[in-house]
Amino acid sequence: MAYRTCEECQRWFYDPKTGQRSMRFGQPLPRKPTDPRPNCRGCPKCDGLPLDQQSPKAGSKRTLSAKNWRALDFYYQVQAVGVGDIKLDSLARGNLGLIARTLAEHERLKGMKVSVLLQLLASRPTL
C-alpha cells in the first residue's frame, strides 16, 4: 500500500491480497461515488496513528512527493548502470547520498514498525 497514493486508493478498488488494482474485463475497477471509501486501517502510511486520525489526509502527509519519487528513481538508475560520464552537481551527489543512507537505515531497522520508519524519513531534509 505504501507505494500507492491515497488518491489512487480512493479512486480504485484494490485486491487486499495482492495489493494490485482489482480488474474487471481487463480494466481497472474504479470506485463510484456511491461506493464505500476504503478503510485506512492497515495502511502502512497510517500505522501508529490513533484510529480516529487514520485518513487519506493523514496518509498523504506520509507519502513521498512526486519530486522525491523522481529522485528515488534516479538513485535506482544510477545504482543499475552507474554514473558513467555524467557529472553530478553537489545537490545530486547530496541527494544520492541521503537516499543511500536512508535505505541503509531502512535495512538496519527492518524489524521496526513502518510508522517509526516513516517518522524517521519525514524528519530528514527534503530533496
If you average pLDDT over every residue of the chain, what do you get? 82
Residue 127 lies inside a defined structural domain of this protein? no
State yes or no: pLDDT of 90 exceeds 80: yes
- Please tell me the total count of domains within the chain: 2
Statement to judge: residues 34 and 2 lie in one domain: yes
How far, CA to CA in Å, does 123 sit from each of 14, 17, 20, 24, 119?
30, 31, 30, 41, 6
When comparing pLDDT for 121 and 31, which is higher? Answer: 31
Residue 4 lies inside a defined structural domain of this protein? yes
Q: What is the model's pTM?
A: 0.54
Name the most confidently modeled range: 2-11, 24-33, 77-86: 24-33
How far, CA to CA in Å, does 96 sit from each of 1, 65, 66, 90, 104?
25, 16, 16, 10, 12
Residue 96 lies inside a defined structural domain of this protein? yes
Q: What range defines the domain where residue 29 resides?
A: 1-44+54-63
Statement to judge: residues 35 and 72 lie in one domain: no
Statement to judge: residues 1 and 21 lie in one domain: yes
